[in-house]
Amino acid sequence: MPKDLAATPTHTNRLIHETSPYLLQHAHNPVDWYPWGEEALRRAAAEDKPVFLSIGYSACHWCHVMEHESFENEEVAAILNEHFISIKVDREERPDLDEIYMTAVQIMTQSGGWPMSVFLTPDLEPFFGGTYFPPEDMMGRAGFKTVLRSVVDVWENRRGDVVKSAAQLAGYVKQSAGMRVGQELAVNRDLVERATADLGASFDSINGGWGGAPKFPSSPSIELLLREHARTGNAHLREMATLTLTKMCQGGMYDQLGGGFHRYSVDAQWLVPHFEKMLYDNAQLSEVYLDAYQATGDPLYARVAGEIFDYVLRDLRDARGAFHSTEDADSEGKEGLFYLWTRDEIVSILGETDGAVFCRYYDVRAGGNFDSHETYHEGLNILHVPRAPETVAKELGMTRETLESTLAACREKLLAVRAQRVRPALDDKILTSWNGMMIGSFAQGYQVLGDARYRDAAERAATFLLTEMMRDGVLLRSHRKGESRIPGYLDDYAFLAVGLLDLYEATFDLRWLNAADSLVQGMTARFWDAADGGFFFTADGQGDLIARTKPTYDGAEPSGNSMAAWALLRLARLTDNKEYAANAERILRINQVNMESAPRGFLKMLCALDFYLSPPREIAFVGSPQSADTRTLLDALHGRYVPNKVVALLDPGAPDHEAVERRIPLLAAKTLVNGHAAAYVCENFACKKPSTTAEALLDSLGQ
């Protein structure tokens, strides 16, 4: 289980010198761990030993279990230390290694997950692997000791078979990496329509979301549905999106006291979460709740987005302004304990009257409200909202307003008590890609909700990344406690570029646009495949990989190519850069076969395709960003859901207004109208009559 890293060690291995909290959790194992690097790989080759590669992350429950059961076991450690070079990798620091070897494990076992356990030749070719192994044989499943002894046997006695098998598997991995894109094909609106139809066919009309248990939030699904509803007016598309958002935030997967979403629900009803919290989930979900608020005006969605932002600012923000990565599922060695309550606890804190109201609304029961195989869950409750507030208020003889004010006061009291509990472990490393997403969401939060804290948070984080996580013009991946390390991957460049574009459109500070453009130039130089199109995940010349992948699949995080297409499309519109437009189009065209054959795996790319096909509105504001008439126009825009747009502003009174006008062709020759702020709605640089009132602007937008 996660433990105090300052505890007195029995053993110390090389991981003690690392910065990753996940690696440091293993720094006192008796296993002779190495971090991935030249020293370990050189020793494997010199001693002709296989590599045992273990990949996980700090918030991974079963990673903690395997550490406690196996990696703290002296007998297991003795086998590993004698026969293997053991390497521990944080998948969040080295997603390149994770992708390659997860592909290998999936080919071998038809499944995957973390902890990932894979055995490599000294040439880094995989020949056997799996995920979690119990320490001893049990229920027909080979234990880790059995696995290790079997691998030692085949390595020593059937080396030729191992090497041949590893070479074949490495070939399959390379082939798989190359099969993810196809020849350039025409893209059209049918791809988007087919994807939304596919979402409709698998939609859970009772609970929202898609599929059964376990159920994961899918922000790109919701985004695509809202986009297509905005285009077509098809009410069913919006209903799928809003039912999913409502059910998710009413379930136990949402932290009803502290805000923020857990990673997924173990059931189909969103009740019982896997309790870890990830920055990337909350960045994406806050964005789609903002979108839904703009599309519907429902204050529930604004409240949830604001609570996510408050959670991130309170619990995940680093002292220097960037954002930490994850909070663990476990506390005091038990999953979810930090978040769970008995009825007696709640009543003792809130009193009988308010306690009864709170328990009725959040379904808190004397015997607990969920089934679990864990005995320590007995009598515990997950706070969730199974019924509408109007229904509960009527049962209690209260107005809805009185109920909601009572509940707000109760939540504040319980949150203060919960803050005194032993918190889940925090992975406090700062990842550039995830911070890029969060910067973008905070920037949008400022636009939609008008809270200056969100703008300030985005600017502080962006400043940190651009100063502390750049070295000699190269963006870095990870930072912790004063040390930035690992050259950035495609995701880091693309996600941060998109976040900086959002920040430009929230502040109209040209430095953010220029920084985004600089990142895209660096991204193109380091990762672009000039021969076949698309971006590689890693820079050319990285010698410790058996394959150079070109990721396009949108999973829990969007792919680097999807986000790169977003950045290129938006920058092309703002700066009139034809090369950017051509590269974005090429990404979409080589992924036509993917979007057609497996749309559920390419939803963020389909959102980028929707932008490409629209075409987007180009909206130029002229006026001081602080003036009341400019703010009125901006508020009108941000109060409506207009998904396909780029926004720029020219302040004619600013000292740099001529440079801004030259930098953004959309702003050329735009002027105030009779001394008043104006908004110009354009498509392909052909503009409508300027608007000086909110009503006229909305009319120009067709709202």
Question: Could you give the C-alpha distances from 335 to 62, 339, 500, in angstroms and in order?
Answer: 11, 9, 36
User: What pLDDT, in 10s, does the model give residues 56-82?
Assistant: 999 888 899 999 999 999 999 999 999
42: pLDDT strictly greater than 90: yes
428: pLDDT strictly greater than 80: yes
8: pLDDT strictly greater than 70: no
- Mean pLDDT value across residues 676-696: 92
Dist CA 700 CA 703 (whole Å): 8
Q: Are 651 and 624 in contact (CB under 8 A)?
A: yes
For the chain, how many residues are written? 703
Question: Could you tell me which CATH class the domain 189-332+427-613 is placed in?
Answer: mainly alpha
- Mean pLDDT value across residues 380-393: 97
CATH 1.50.10.10 residue ranges of the chain are: 189-332+427-613
- Mean pLDDT value across residues 312-340: 96
589: pLDDT strictly greater than 50: yes
Dist CA 409 CA 355 (whole Å): 11
Give me the half-sphere count of Cα atoms (radius 13 Å) on the Cβ side of residue 448: 31
pLDDT of residue 179: 61
Task: Report DSSP state, residue 615.
Answer: P
Whole-number percent of the chain with pLDDT over 70? 98
Task: Report DSSP state, residue 424.
Answer: P
pTM of the model: 0.95
Residue type, 288: V
267: pLDDT strictly greater than 90: yes
545: pLDDT strictly greater than 60: yes
- Mean pLDDT value across residues 432-454: 98
Cis peptide before 115 (omega within 30 of 0): yes
5: pLDDT strictly greater than 80: no
Q: Are 204 and 211 in contact (CB under 8 A)?
A: yes
475: pLDDT strictly greater than 80: yes
183: pLDDT strictly greater than 90: no
- Mean pLDDT value across residues 458-484: 97
pLDDT of residue 7: 41
164: pLDDT strictly greater than 70: yes
> Residue 4's pLDDT band (boundaries 50, 70, 90)?
very low
- Positive or negative, the Cα torsion across 540, 541, 542, 544? positive
- Give the DSSP per-residue string, 201-244: HTB-TTT-SBSSSSB---HHHHHHHHHHHHHH--HHHHHHHHHH
pLDDT of residue 71: 96
Residues near 4 by Cβ (< 8 Å), separated by ≥ 6?
Answer: none
Nearest of 606, 610, 679, 694 to residue 648 by alpha carbon: 679
Nearest of 683, 636, 643 to residue 232 by alpha carbon: 643
- Mean pLDDT value across residues 240-268: 98
Question: Could you tell me which CATH class the domain 14-178 is placed in?
Answer: alpha beta
The SS3 of residue 426 is: strand
Nearest of 515, 487, 518, 521 to residue 502 by alpha carbon: 515
Q: How many CB atoms lie within 10 A of CB 42?
A: 12
Beta bridge partners of 620: 648, 680
Q: What fold does the segment set 617-700 form as a domain?
A: Glutaredoxin (3.40.30)
Encode burial over 517-527: b for 16+ CB neighbours within 10 A, e otherwise: bbbbebbbebb
Residue type, 577: N
User: What pLDDT, in 10s, does the model give residues 616-658?
Assistant: 999 999 999 999 999 999 999 999 999 999 999 999 999 999 9
